[in-house]
Amino acid sequence: QVQLVESGGGLVQAGGSLRLSCAASGRTFRRYAMGWFRQAPGKEREFVAAISYSSSNTDYADSVKGRFTISRDNGKNTVYLQMNSLKPEDTAVYYCATPRTATIPSPLEYQYWGQGTQVTVSS
């Protein structure tokens, strides 16, 4: 079992930045791909970014490419999402998740989720 705890959300002005963190417990965190998802009010959950266990591969939603960066520190059992040039449409609850596979799977294959952290971007 993997426990994931997100932090770093908050309220920012459009154009600002936030860095989200997801701390994971579990002996085999370093072997797992990790992903970030978000869910805006009244909308379905959507994929944001993912990273393989070795950081050799990353993937981003088109809507965040060039603005968001996913990274991880396996020594700290932590994955990060650096969010720059934030837009009001980025407002959502952000969740980290893992499929417990080393490579990046389809977005449907993530099985373990954190509680989420709220990101609000004002105009």
Let me know: does 91 contact 121? Beta carbons within 8 Å.
yes
Residue 73: DSSP 8-state: E
Q: Is residue 30 pLDDT above 70, yes or no?
A: no
Sole residue written with tokens 């990353």? 58
Q: Using pLDDT thresholds of 50, 70 and 90, give the confidence band for residue 29.
A: low
Give the largest Cα separation in the chain, rounded.
42
Per-residue pLDDT reduced to its tens digit, 79-98: 999 999 999 999 999 999 99
Mean pLDDT of the residues in the chain: 93
Cα-Cα-Cα-Cα dihedral sign, residues 33, 109, 117, 2:
negative
Interatomic CA distance for residues 26 and 45, integer angstroms: 25
pLDDT of residue 101: 86
Average pLDDT of the residues in 48-62: 94
| β-pair partners for 4 | 24
